[in-house]
Amino acid sequence: MKKIGIVANLKKKNAKSIVKELSRWLVKKGKTVILDEESAAGIKGKNRPLSIQKIASQADLLISLGGDGTLLRVGRVKNIDRVPILGVNLGGLGFITEIGYSEIYKELTKILAGNFKTEERMRLDVKIAKKGRKETKFIVLNELVLAKRSIARLLHLEIFIDRNYVTTYQADGLIVSTPTGSTGHSLSAGGPIMEASLEGIILTPICPHTLANRPLIIPANKEVQVKTKPVTRTRDVCATMDGQVVVNLSVDETVSIKKAPAKLKLIVSPRRNYYQVLREKLCWGERGHSSYA
């Protein structure tokens, strides 16, 4: 590994000094450090900052410094699948940023020596289309949320799977989630937890008017189409990708969701497994300790 990309959330406490310290450490190891444009703000360096897209095409390793939100921003980059990503949480542990800053130099020493394990995470392709208008496309790592922006009225959302009509949700909204996103907004709305290494698409209605409308898991090779029925006043309806990108919707627009062809390559902690992170983040209590010989 020669070129190391760094993407940081400088709003995190001490983030700027951490980027400087980490960059110096990597340079001493003989590595070339590439900062993205936001991370380089206010940090003097010889190398010209690049977009995350360009870093993904050049770096041998990408370090995401911040939290789950920072990694979600990285995870939406189209060609990010070619580079392994180390997610470092500058606060508490996250669901997808398992490594704390206190561990970073110990972990990086192993990673730079080629001693690391990656886990592939499924992403979603989202397409918003309307007759007579150019379609817009997005990639999401966690979820797409269709909901009202302000007025608390029911949405009427027609659901199709592979263009076969399934049902019409009368609800406050709908969450379409990946397994990685199953522990996020979908979980808060009563959705199931899927182990992140699995493949599948989760549909979780938000406060459905009909109790029979329950969360639904479908195979990853299926395509979901969502249409807003005319009965819904659409001027306040929006699609939110990973809680960070918002697009307003209008009448007759169709939102299509399917598995993205390229996955995210995430470096995982050798000392924590998925279930340990679940226990810590969801505060699952344990009455006793079990061990297996």
Determine the structural domain holding residue 165 and report its residue range. 124-259
User: In this structure, are 75 and 198 located in the same domain?
Assistant: no
User: In this structure, are 97 and 216 located in the same domain?
Assistant: no
Annotated active-site residue 125? The verdict is: no
pLDDT in tens, 47-76: 678 899 999 999 999 999 999 999 999 999
User: In this structure, are 165 and 247 located in the same domain?
Assistant: yes
- The fraction of the chain above a pLDDT of 70, given in percent, is 90
pLDDT in tens, 120-135: 999 999 999 876 677 8
CATH number of the domain residue 83 falls in: 3.40.50.10330
User: In this structure, are 170 and 101 located in the same domain?
Assistant: no
- Catalytic residue, candidates 36, 60, 68, 81: 68
User: In this structure, are 179 and 225 located in the same domain?
Assistant: yes
User: In this structure, are 19 and 102 located in the same domain?
Assistant: yes
User: In this structure, are 177 and 220 located in the same domain?
Assistant: yes
The span from the CA of 141 to the CA of 188, in Å, is 17
Nearest 5°: phi and psi at 149? Answer: -80, -35
Q: Where is pLDDT greater, at 290 or 59?
A: 59
Q: Is residue 277 part of a domain?
A: yes
User: In this structure, are 253 and 138 located in the same domain?
Assistant: yes
pLDDT in tens, 188-197: 999 999 999 8
User: In this structure, are 106 and 137 located in the same domain?
Assistant: no
User: In this structure, are 69 and 163 located in the same domain?
Assistant: no
Nearest 5°: phi and psi at 266? Answer: -105, 130
pLDDT in tens, 61-115: 999 999 999 999 999 998 899 999 999 998 766 788 878 888 899 999 999 999 9
* Sequence-ordered list of residues with C-beta below 8 angstroms from that of 151, at least 6 positions apart, any chain: 233, 236
